[in-house]
Amino acid sequence: MRSVYRVVLSSFSILMFPLALQAYSSGPLPQLTGGFNEQTCVRCHSSFSLNEGRLRGGDLHLAGVPKAFSAGETYLISVI
């Protein structure tokens, strides 16, 4: 019984190790945040299309988002 437990635990660890290598504890890479002229998380997380949550009842609206970004500027953005 103990050897079966070790085999299962070892197999699980070996299979999960590559996933741990791709994890980012401090958040996504800067170029994958979906900001101005950036890609989104869909590049790696492609199980669902971007913003599919709206079809499942979730909804989020932002007011005050500028059309272009200017470094050093402060923007007042409201979540509705």
pLDDT digits (tens, 9 = 90+) for 47-74: 777 766 666 666 778 899 888 888 898 9
Q: How far apart are CA 61 and CA 2, in angstroms?
A: 54
Q: How far apart are CA 78 and CA 37, in angstroms?
A: 21
Residue 35 has a pLDDT of 75
Residue 63 has a pLDDT of 92
Is it the case that residue 6 has pLDDT exceeding 70? yes
pLDDT in tens, 12-54: 788 777 766 666 667 667 777 777 778 777 777 777 777 666 6
Which distant-in-sequence residues (6+ apart) come within 8 Å of 35 by Cβ? 69
Global pTM reads 0.31
